[in-house]
Amino acid sequence: MTVAASTEAGGSAKARRGEARRIAVLTGPAYLWLAVTVFLPISAMLYFSLLSEAPIAGRVGQFTLENYQAFFDKAFYQSLMLRSLRLGAEVSFYCFLFGFPCALVLAKVVKGRWREAMFLLVIIPFWSNALVRIFSWTMVLRGNGILEQFLNAVIPGFGGLDLMFTYPAIVIGLVHSYLPYMILTCYISLQAIDDDLIEAARSLGASRWTILTRILLPLSMPGIVAGAVLIFVPVIGSFMEPRILGGRNGTFIGTVIEDQFTAVFNWPLGAALSFILLGCVLIIFAAFHPILRRAAR
């Protein structure tokens, strides 16, 4: 019995080693790709953020923390960071406000070809270039643009509606760009909810509002949280929509970082601001981690 048990244990250990080897072979290329495309650029950015100037054109940079200190010494950077965080929160909220009902209709109301047609409308923004989408909004939101002409045709004497180069224009452009993320993540969570659960609630006399607030929203919270994260993180660092649709009102931490790299050529300061932005995001996620974890469950 002892010999048999030892043989069985040895075979089991060999099988586990073989399984681990297969997993390493299958996942190794993906982790290698992540290491090259993510960790290597981040390491380079960290190195640049600790230099007094970029080591290009024969210049030699000295190690310093002045780039990080500049953020805390200048209230301008701090106000831009708060403004960017506010923008990310507002865009995430509006994406949920418009995206969740759309996902609910897709998951529980329409069927067949109508669902396919609505899915096509949802993913169309992914098929077009971001700059094309943004410049299209300039034609809609500018003075005497498409939206203003339409409103004056429907409501005579409506007047002017020049939204270009305003904060609402930035929010509109960003919501249009990131709304599909919220719709798709919410749709996946709603699709996983058993229809029999909803029918049981209806048979017990639950109203539509009760079903929405007590069943659909809690059970779809993982998709809502995933969509909010996918939207919030890129929005706070965005620069194309604020620069094109916001004009002078489009100055955020993302536009300042982009200027440091492309206009001022102060790469160390731009890298330092990027890492501070990353740190703020991690702190926010750490603070809300218990809530997000409970919502995901």
User: Residue 224 is part of a domain; what is its CATH number?
Assistant: 1.10.3720.10
Give domain status of residue 60, yes or no.
no
- Report the amino acid identity of residue 65: L
Give domain status of residue 1, yes or no.
yes
Q: How much is the pLDDT for 85?
A: 94
- For residues 31 and 80, membership in a common domain is answered with no
Q: Is the pLDDT of residue 1 over 70?
A: no
- For residues 31 and 69, membership in a common domain is answered with no
Q: Is the pLDDT of residue 11 over 60?
A: no
- For residues 73 and 187, membership in a common domain is answered with yes
Matching residue, tokens 């709603």: 190
Q: Which domain holds residue 103?
A: 65-296
- For residues 115 and 195, membership in a common domain is answered with yes
Find, among 140, 132, 138, 96, the residue nearest to 231 by Cα. 96
- For residues 95 and 156, membership in a common domain is answered with yes
Q: How much is the pLDDT for 286?
A: 84
Give domain status of residue 247, yes or no.
yes
- For residues 78 and 25, membership in a common domain is answered with no
- 73-82: average pLDDT: 92
Number of domains in the chain: 2
- For residues 131 and 202, membership in a common domain is answered with yes
Give domain status of residue 221, yes or no.
yes
257 vs 290, more confident: 257
Q: What is the DSSP string of the chain?
A: -HHHHHHHHHHHHHHHHHHHHHHHHHHHHHHHHHIIIIIHHHHHHHHHHTBSS---TT----B-SHHHHHHHH-HHHHHHHHHHHHHHHHHHHHHHHHHHHHHHHHHHT--HHHHHHHHHHHHHHHHS-HHHHHHHHHHHHSTTSHHHHHHHHHSTT------TTSHHHHHHHHHHHHHHHHHHHHHHHHHTS-HHHHHHHHHTT--HHHHIIIIIHHHTHHHHHHHHHHHHHHHHT--HHHHHHHGGGG--HHHHHHHHHHTS--HHHHHHHHHHHHHHHHHHHHHSHHHHHHHH-
- For residues 28 and 147, membership in a common domain is answered with no
Give domain status of residue 55, yes or no.
no
Give domain status of residue 54, yes or no.
no
User: Cα–Cα distances in Å, from 204 out to 108, 109, 198, 199, 201?
Assistant: 19, 21, 10, 9, 5
Per residue in 100-135, pLDDT (tens digit) is: 999 999 988 888 788 888 888 888 877 878 888 888
Q: Is the pLDDT of residue 8 over 60?
A: no
- For residues 80 and 224, membership in a common domain is answered with yes
Q: How much is the pLDDT for 109?
A: 83
Give domain status of residue 110, yes or no.
yes
- 230-250: average pLDDT: 90
What share of the chain in percent tops pLDDT 90?
34
- For residues 5 and 140, membership in a common domain is answered with no
Which pTM was predicted? Answer: 0.84
- 218-222: average pLDDT: 89
* Least confident residue range of 64-68, 77-81, 142-146, 211-215: 142-146
Give domain status of residue 177, yes or no.
yes
Q: Is the pLDDT of residue 58 over 80?
A: no
- For residues 113 and 243, membership in a common domain is answered with yes
At residue 248 the predicted structure's pLDDT band, cuts being 50, 70 and 90, is: confident
- For residues 179 and 42, membership in a common domain is answered with no
At residue 13 the predicted structure's pLDDT band, cuts being 50, 70 and 90, is: low
